[in-house]
Amino acid sequence: MQFIWFIGLKLSHWLPVIHFIRTILFQTQLNLTSFNLLIDSAEKALYFLHLRLERMVSSMATLLCIAALIAGSYSSSVAAESKGSFEDNFSIMWSEDHFKTSEDGQIWYLSLDKETGCGFQTKQRYRFGWFSMKLKLVEGDSAGVVTAYYMCTENGAGPTRDELDFEFLGNRSGQPFLIQTNVYKNGTGGREMRHMLWFDPTEDFHTYSLLWNNHQIVFFVDGVPLRVFKNNGEENNFFPNEKPMYLFSSIWNADDWATRGGLEKTDWKKAPFVSSYKDFSVDGCQWEDPFPKCVSTTTNNWWDQYEAWHLSDSQKTDYAWVQRNLVIYDYCKDTERYPTLLAECSLSPWD
């Protein structure tokens, strides 16, 4: 019975423990690489487990099988994630002199000063999958500064681009930390949502992830579903599912809008502003011209199986908590901006 109780815990119950252990290891200056690989694998294993538990009987034999699968997931995940370096996965987009790495090459730093910011992008394109990165945001007074972590079909704001955005809006010290998400299809965005974060994202690394398949796009923070964007299963003008995307991150000045609608300006005396990154992880369909076999729905990959088309029961509980406590702005509820309800706004994230 203790084993059943252990694996039945919600992922959110484990997050404080994970972050506490990370903090202790950091303060004692231990090597975090192996530990982070273990944690990433545990988070993935718990995610898979939550998706499966609702559909499985709770016999001990079945649970032991699940435990074996978790162990296998850990071994394969470590092997996959331990291979790639920054140079293997990414290219610098601009201002290479504003990019640095830690001595062991495991942490990457982008800096912004009055002259310029910096950014990087994956060398490969993907269509559907799971994409994850750990970020630590600019410390102190970061008003006007935006750290962007996003997927896009091209390097630039092209008129027909598809895009999935995490944007971390800088803040004046002591103010709430806000995260903005947005979805573009064929160059049309305007689908912003803003949430408060329930932690200080400048004190430690936190995990920001995207699940993207033909049925839904889910924005996760530390394994908690922050936003769910559904497809209606028909040809439409709102759900990006036709074009492969690169993954990007950048830091740049946006003090004309980012903090309190542009009222708070960037204090350049506090420059350089530095954002930190590590532990990029991707389990997705890598694009190969003319197109890879895995772009169609084959259910061969976990992120394209039935359980990944919907939130699990435990994820719905977390998502309901987010909806009650953290939503600052939802374009679907902005009747002044959109007097007529947009088609995607009628789709239920609970289905």
Q: Is 154 an annotated catalytic residue?
A: no
How far is the C-alpha of 129 from the C-alpha of 74, rounded, in Å?
A: 18
Cα 18 versus chain centre, distance:
18
Task: Count CB neighbours of 63 within 10 A.
Answer: 19
HEC profile of 193-226: EEEECCCCCCCCCEEEEEEECCCEEEEEECCEEE
Give every CB contact of residue 36 below 8 A, 6+ residues apart in sequence: 22, 134, 278, 279
Place of tokens 């902005």: 334
128 and 298 Cβ atoms separated by less than 8 Å: no
147 Rama class: left (phi>0) / alpha (psi -120 to 50) / beta: beta
How far is the C-alpha of 240 from the C-alpha of 24, rounded, in Å?
A: 41
188 secondary structure, DSSP code: B
How far is the C-alpha of 346 from the C-alpha of 66, rounded, in Å?
A: 37
How far is the C-alpha of 73 from the C-alpha of 194, rounded, in Å?
A: 34
Q: Is 307 an annotated catalytic residue?
A: no
Q: Which of 54, 96, 115, 163 is catalytic?
A: 163
Q: Which of 167, 235, 307, 344 is catalytic?
A: 167
Q: Which active-site residues does the annotation give?
A: 163, 167
